[in-house]
Structure 1
Amino acid sequence: MNDHLMRKPPARRLGQQALVLHENPDLGGELCVLLVDPVYRDGYTLPGGSAEADELPHLAARRHLESETGLALPLRTILTVDYVSRDNYPEGINFVYAGGVLSPRQVKAVNLYQPPENIQALHWVPRATLRDVMPPDQSRRVHDAWDAWEHGDGLPLLLRGVPVPIN
């Protein structure tokens, strides 16, 4: 192997996010997505954040989801992969995982959860209003992930060629 090729690998963010839905009875059972309102940027985003060095990507997604929303969900299916060029942040690749549709009990737990200080609030947002509350790139990412989820598309996450276990 040519070790000299990786002596100085490129720096890149690996973002891990989760698409979590619930059927909102107040909206006739319409599906809504769980979004966070971070203090460090304008507009809402999916729960998530960057993976640490040597942290498995699905576990990073789960860690961020749990710390921001209180949910501990198995995340193993990738709905979208979104490349983001360098702008305000380093170049990055964002993975959006399928978190599924929550039970009413899980929704209640999320609604009672006190997010950390870097999250102003948690919101359940119907698909039709995503563009009103999210930056355009974030909204497009959520729409794409939602489409993949609705059509049963997605890629299993592999670790050295082996599918990640469900738990």
Structure 2
Amino acid sequence: MSTTRLATKPPTRRSGHHTLVLREDPDGSHDLSVLLVEPIDTDGLTLPGGPAEQDELPHLAARRHLETETGLVLPLRTILTIDYTPATDLPESLDLVYAGGMLTPRQAHTLRHHQPPQRIRTLHWIPRSGLRDATTTDHYRRVEDAWDAWEHGAGLPLLIQGTPVPIG
């Protein structure tokens, strides 16, 4: 029988939880755009998301940030990409990007009427061709990798203590 030993002083690490949300352009071109937010305190646009609170389940942290920033409530259970940032210039972090999927016209309508919190200037729909100019290099790579995983049906199911997170 094995025993789990916990460190008396576990290391601190920041975890970020973000969501990739897509929609078809309304002009009928069938091109896709990604939903990005414009925070007031950082350069470039980012995916909706932010840190988890103490003892908050990871997918619920992503869902909370998504709802607060955009008004959308989506089931999040698939991780598209994991982005590790070492503690060199920034605090060490592990950022997870969840699959929010393709918005329906009704969900897009909800988004248009949502007032983001004061820390968010505005919401933007950016086509893939415009990502490099709209985001910082690290966010560009994160969004590109997540989008590529979504397109190819790749992703990791989120497990909590070995049990898949239920849909909903």
TM interval, shorter chain, is over 0.9
What pairs with 1:45-84 in structure 2 (closer than 5 Å)?
45-84=46-85
**For residues 94 and 145 of structure 1, what CA distance do their matches in structure 2 show?**
12
Q: Which amino acid aligns with 1:8?
A: K
4+ residue stretches of structure 1 with deviation over 4 A?
A: none
CA separation of 1:78/1:2 partners in 2, compared to 1, >3 Å: closer, same or farther? closer
- Deviation (angstroms), 1:105: 1.3
**For residues 88 and 111 of structure 2, what CA distance do their matches in structure 1 show?**
33
1:155 paired residue number: 156
What pairs with 1:92-131 in structure 2 (closer than 5 Å)?
92-131=93-132
**For residues 140 and 16 of structure 1, what CA distance do their matches in structure 2 show?**
16
- Deviation (angstroms), 1:25: 2.1
1:44 paired residue number: 45
Question: What does the per-residue CA deviation read over 1:111-143, in whole Å, with 9 as the maximum and x for residues that have no partner?
Answer: 221100000000000001101010000000000
Unaligned ranges ≥5, structure 2:
none
- Deviation (angstroms), 1:2: 6.5
> Which secondary structure does the structure 2 equivalent of 1:115 belong to?
coil
> Which secondary structure does the structure 2 equivalent of 1:7 belong to?
coil
**For residues 23 and 166 of structure 2, what CA distance do their matches in structure 1 show?**
24
**For residues 40 and 77 of structure 1, what CA distance do their matches in structure 2 show?**
29
Question: What does the per-residue CA deviation read over 1:32-71, in whole Å, with 9 as the maximum and x for residues that have no partner?
Answer: 0000000110110000000011000000000000000000
TM-score, structure 1 as length reference? 0.95
TM-score, structure 2 as length reference? 0.95
**For residues 69 and 144 of structure 2, what CA distance do their matches in structure 1 show?**
21
Larger % of helix: which?
1
> Which secondary structure does the structure 2 equivalent of 1:128 belong to?
helix
The reply on whether 1:146 has 2:147 as its aligned counterpart is yes
- Deviation (angstroms), 1:27: 6.1
Deviates more, 1:134-143 or 1:79-88: 79-88
**For residues 84 and 166 of structure 1, what CA distance do their matches in structure 2 show?**
29
- Deviation (angstroms), 1:108: 1.7
- Deviation (angstroms), 1:86: 2.2
Q: Which amino acid aligns with 1:21?
A: L
The reply on whether 1:135 has 2:157 as its aligned counterpart is no
When the two structures are aligned, how many residues end up with a matched partner?
166
